[in-house]
Amino acid sequence: MKFFVDTANLAQIREANDMGVLDGVTTNPSLMAKEGIKGVENCKKHYVEICNIVEGDVSAEVIATDFEGMVREGEELAALHRNIVVKVPCIADGIKAIKYFTGKGIRTNCTLVFSPGQALLAAKAGATYVSPFVGRLDDVASDGIELVEKIVDMYRYYGFQTQVLAASIRTTQHIIQCIEAGADVATCPLSAIKGLLNHPLTDIGLAKFLEDYRKVNG
């Protein structure tokens, strides 16, 4: 399973990349706003900065919600860097825009997906990635991981090439569940990725190794 980091924070992207396990980055308008990035030109500059840090796909989301606007913005975003993936909301004009981008060889990430039916439409339009939002389904007492499983099964059954990119990942346990569900990618907060390292037996074992080494070597 590939790891993307779900942030527009350059320091966190650098830290994840320096760990050597980063395969890409996803952003959204909320994450860009959190970093205080305002205006179209500044957003574009920021996407290029991200692309210069990580060698992997970087999702940049359109703001327009009509077909023409999404096409215009998406083409501008895709022209910024070869690793940009245009992120498009799962609405009727978004599906139409994904179909258009597919025809132009522009890669897409269909976002805000909450049902297998939405994921089917994204795949039929040729989306490169589909993003089921795990945590937000859990927030409304639904089962986000179950949606990931259903989409993975559906894509395998019908032979769709669209990759399942589990999004809205909140915890380290979500990452483990995504592996079990067969997700192609999980886009995660850096803290959840680092959480994979935590095991008390590792800490206890390392302390004992060092203690025994010092007993003999001083």
Interface residue with ligand G3P among 136, 154, 171, 182 (CB under 6 A) is 136
CB of 135 to ligand G3P, least distance (A): 5
Taking residues 105 to 134 in sequence order and writing x for each that binds ligand G3P by CB under 6 A, - otherwise, the string is --------------------------x-x-
Helix (H, G, I), strand (E, B) or coil at 108: strand
Place of tokens 């927030």: 139
Task: Rule CB under 6 A: choose which of 17, 28, 128, 163 binds ligand G3P.
Answer: 28
End-to-end CA distance of the chain: 43
Residue tagged active-site, from 87, 96, 99, 124: 87
Q: Is 187 in the site for ligand G3P (CB under 6 A)?
A: yes
Contact 197, 179 (CB under 8 A): no
> Least Å distance between CB 75 and ligand G3P?
23
12 is a contact residue toward ligand G3P (CB under 6 A): no
Using CA atoms, how far apart are residues 147 and 199, in angstroms rounded to an integer?
Answer: 29
Active site residue 194: no
Tell me which residue of 165, 168, 169, 172 sits closest to 196, measured CA to CA.
172
Report the distance separating Cα 97 and Cα 91, nearest Å: 10
Which residue lies nearer to ligand G3P by CB, 173 or 202? 173
Nearest to 110 by CA among 58, 72, 165, 71: 165
Residues contributing to the site for ligand G3P (CB under 6 A): 6, 26, 28, 31, 131, 133, 135-136, 167-168, 170, 187
